Amino acid sequence: MLGALSLAAAKFALGGDLRRFIYLLIFSAVVGVASAVIGLTAVLKAKRTGSYRPRGAVGGMVLGALAALISIWLLVFYLAFPRQVDNYVRCLNQAQTSGSQHSCMDKFYRSIHMGSAGLGGAAARLRRTSAGSAEPRDSGQR
């Protein structure tokens, strides 16, 4: 039951208000982890006592773990690209047609790729300096 609840919360978090998005993702991650832990402890206790496995324990573990993974991944994504996600949610809230929603998605993809290219460039320069070169190389792009 908790696994299905956390998965439903993750699904409802994907649209609408950004503050609600964050709260529902945190809720979904916490409830998903709790569901997986409760299911695992129920299965282990049943195995120790020699009784039958509780019905729904495996389903709760799977759904809870899935919801927790999705929620945590989305939270990490939001923390990595907060401005892009804010702009995307704002654009979707103002979109009236599917064409304008598609335009929002295109803008979002472009902004993510430009943002991740900047991160990749810094990571590449950092790798070069840690690999043995004395000073970071300036690529001249700013």
pLDDT tens digits, 111-127? 888 866 555 544 443 34
One domain, residues 13 and 53: yes
Calculate what percentage of the chain has a pLDDT beyond 70.
68
To 10 degrees, what angle do helices 98-130 and 82-94 make? 180
Distance CA(118)–CA(95), nearest Å, equals 29
Whether residues 73 and 120 share a domain: the answer is no
Identify the DSSP state of 132: T
pLDDT value at residue 72: 92
The verdict on 15 and 73 lying in the same domain is: yes
91 and 129 both lie in a single domain: yes
Q: What is the total count of domains within the chain?
A: 2
In the predicted model, is pLDDT for residue 80 greater than 50? yes
Nearest to 101 by CA among 112, 111, 90, 110: 90
pLDDT of 1 above 70: no
Tell whether 121 and 137 lie within a shared domain: yes
pTM over 0.75: no
In terms of DSSP H, where are the helices of the chain? 2-12, 18-49, 57-80, 82-94, 98-130
Q: Which domain does 14 fall in, by range? A: 1-80
Given this model, what pLDDT does residue 6 score? 63
d(CA 5, CA 3): 5
CB atoms under 10 Å from CB of 120, counted, come to 10
